[in-house]
Structure 1
Amino acid sequence: MRQAKPLPAAARRWAERRIGPVVAVRDASHDWPRSRVWELRSERGAGWYVKVSPSEKFFTRETRAYRHVVPALGHGRAPHLLDSRAEDLTLLLSVVPGSPVPGLGLSSGEGRAVHRQAGALCARLHEAGELDRADQAEAEASLVAAADGAEKYLSRAGARLTAGEQQLIRDHAAELRRVGPVPVGYIHGDNQPRNWLWSTTGLALIDFERTRPAAVVQDLVILAVTEWIDHPDREQVFFQAYGRALTTAERRALRCLTALDAVNCLAWGPDNDHPEVTTRGRRTLDRLRRENLL
């Protein structure tokens, strides 16, 4: 059982200057060491989140996202940023209704409803304003940057991959460099059901620390290797709401990106005692190997 993380006293005092006395605190962190999030209940009955970012890069991405990208989702479809403090990478966020999708035991119809709304919200996010020159350049270089990371993940995974599997990863990284132009925009960066909250008012997205300009197909990788493998009907309704099908270049890129996700999972999962992530990587890599033999 994971031990609850205590809210730092300085963070509590800072939050109380904005929201008033806090009467209850709940550790809402994800199950890994660098995740630090607490739900606060103020004396007035309102709920808030205090989040301490794991790095300056994530803090910068998330605060920028809440100010310039997240509003495109619409009212109630994501938290809003009440305040932030750069010196200790702390954010104070509103609470939106709902519970994370994975724990809800949704029916088939409810699962499709969630993915339909996710498709609509992703479309809004991906089209959230014009990219400036620097963001455009970063987005256009994002697939090459992803390919560049292959050797780092291969090194970390080491003997967990056979020589043939390592070559398969390298082949997909090389192909990713050749797919050509793809649509770009702002992506969530960790777009998966654990960051989707479902309630009677609909779907909301949370956790924008990886939000950045990129090829928008990068936001579909985790869904492609988890939800949509087992539930193609969810993929269908997602894209109906998204408003367009993937281009040929995006479909090629998505396949390559799933290979890179696999090696990343097989590097990170065992090192962090996370069997779910490890299983995801192994399953994807086994599927790619089978398809490569056809």
Structure 2
Amino acid sequence: MRRTKPLPATARSWAEQQIGPILSVRDASHDWDRSRVWDLEGTDRIHRYVKISPSVKFFSRENRAYRHIVPALGYGRAPHLIDSRAQDFLLLLTAVPGVPAKTLGLDTTGWRSVHRQAGVLCARLHQAGELDRDDLTEAEASLAAAADGAEKYLARAGDRLTTVEQQLIRNHAAHLRRIGPVPVGFIHGDNRPRNWLVSESGVAHIDFERTRPAARVQDLVTLTVNEWLDHPDREQAFLQSYGRPLTDAERHALTCLTALDAVSCLAWGPDNGDPSVTARGRRTLDRLMRENTL
């Protein structure tokens, strides 16, 4: 059972300076130790959220995203930044209606609808403004940067992978470096149903701490290995509303990125006692071993 995290007094005091007295506080963190988010109900009965980012990198990404990128999603499709405090990694956000899609027990039609709406939002985010020179440099290097992580995860996973499986990962990492140009832009970075809130007014996105310039296809990795493998109709709905099919280069990159995701899962999952992440990595790796099209 996850232990409830108390809201630090300094964070509460700062939030009250922005929104007035707080009536109640609820821990709304994700189920991992570095996630720190609280639902604040003011005496005006309006709910807001205060978040303490886990690092300066995540704070900087999310603060920038809310100020300059997220507004492209449209009104009500993401939280709005009320204020931020860099020295304490604090973000104060409005609430958007809805509950995470993964908790709803949706039927086939419902999931198609959610993926269709998520595709629209993903396209808006990916096209949110022009990349400046530094952003473009980072985005164009993102696939190589992903490939650079392969050896780190292989070392951490150790004998959880056979020698043949390790070589498969290295082959995919090497192939990823040779893929030609792919479309780049701002990506969400954790684009999956736990960060899609569903309400009567539609789908909204939350949690932008991983938002950054990158190859756009990197936003589809988790969906590919978790959501679309057994439900190609969801992929079709998403890409139809996304507005274009993936290029051949993006398809090749996506295969390589799923291999890197697999070894990452097999390194992180067992070390952190997360059987679902471990199973995701093993399932992907077993599939790639069967296909082995490189």
- TM-score under structure 2 length normalisation: 0.99
* Partner residue in 2 for 1:102: 102
DSSP-derived class of the 2:178 partner: coil
The one-letter code sitting in structure 2 at the alignment partner of 1:253 is: A
* Partner residue in 1 for 2:26: 26
Deviation sequence 1:168-206 (CA, Å, 0-9, x none): 000000000011100000000000100100010000000
DSSP-derived class of the 1:226 partner: helix
What is the CA distance between 1:107 and its match in structure 2?
Answer: 1.0
Structure 1 unaligned regions, length at least 5: none
Whole-Å separation in 2 of the counterparts to 1:217 and 1:76:
25
Deviation sequence 1:119-148 (CA, Å, 0-9, x none): 000000000010000000100000000001
Please tell me whether residue 284 in structure 1 is matched to residue 284 in structure 2: yes
Whole-Å separation in 2 of the counterparts to 1:269 and 1:27:
24
DSSP-derived class of the 1:198 partner: strand
What is the CA distance between 1:230 and its match in structure 2?
Answer: 1.3
The sequence identity of aligned pairs, in percent, is 73
Whole-Å separation in 1 of the counterparts to 2:49 and 2:149:
33
* Partner residue in 2 for 1:211: 211
Deviation sequence 1:216-235 (CA, Å, 0-9, x none): 00000000001001111000
* Partner residue in 2 for 1:164: 164
What is the CA distance between 1:5 and its match in structure 2?
Answer: 0.3
Matched ranges for 1:127-276 at <5 A: 127-276=127-276
* Partner residue in 2 for 1:49: 49
Whole-Å separation in 2 of the counterparts to 1:35 and 1:70:
21
Whole-Å separation in 2 of the counterparts to 1:202 and 1:274:
31
The one-letter code sitting in structure 2 at the alignment partner of 1:290 is: R
DSSP-derived class of the 2:17 partner: helix
Please tell me whether residue 9 in structure 1 is matched to residue 13 in structure 2: no
What is the CA distance between 1:99 and its match in structure 2?
Answer: 0.2
Q: Which runs of 4+ in 1 moved over 2 A?
A: none
What is the CA distance between 1:19 and its match in structure 2?
Answer: 0.8
Please tell me whether residue 83 in structure 1 is matched to residue 75 in structure 2: no
DSSP-derived class of the 1:62 partner: helix
Whole-Å separation in 1 of the counterparts to 2:39 and 2:159:
41
The one-letter code sitting in structure 2 at the alignment partner of 1:41 is: E
Whole-Å separation in 2 of the counterparts to 1:128 and 1:44:
34
Number of residue pairs the alignment of both structures matches:
294
The one-letter code sitting in structure 1 at the alignment partner of 2:242 is: Y
Structure 2 unaligned regions, length at least 5: none
What is the CA distance between 1:292 and its match in structure 2?
Answer: 1.4
DSSP-derived class of the 1:122 partner: helix
What is the CA distance between 1:293 and its match in structure 2?
Answer: 7.5
What RMSD, in angstroms, separates the aligned Cα atoms of the two structures?
A: 0.9
- TM-score under structure 1 length normalisation: 0.99
Whole-Å separation in 2 of the counterparts to 1:40 and 1:127:
32
* Partner residue in 1 for 2:71: 71
DSSP-derived class of the 1:69 partner: helix
Whole-Å separation in 2 of the counterparts to 1:22 and 1:278:
40
The one-letter code sitting in structure 1 at the alignment partner of 2:76 is: G
DSSP-derived class of the 1:39 partner: strand
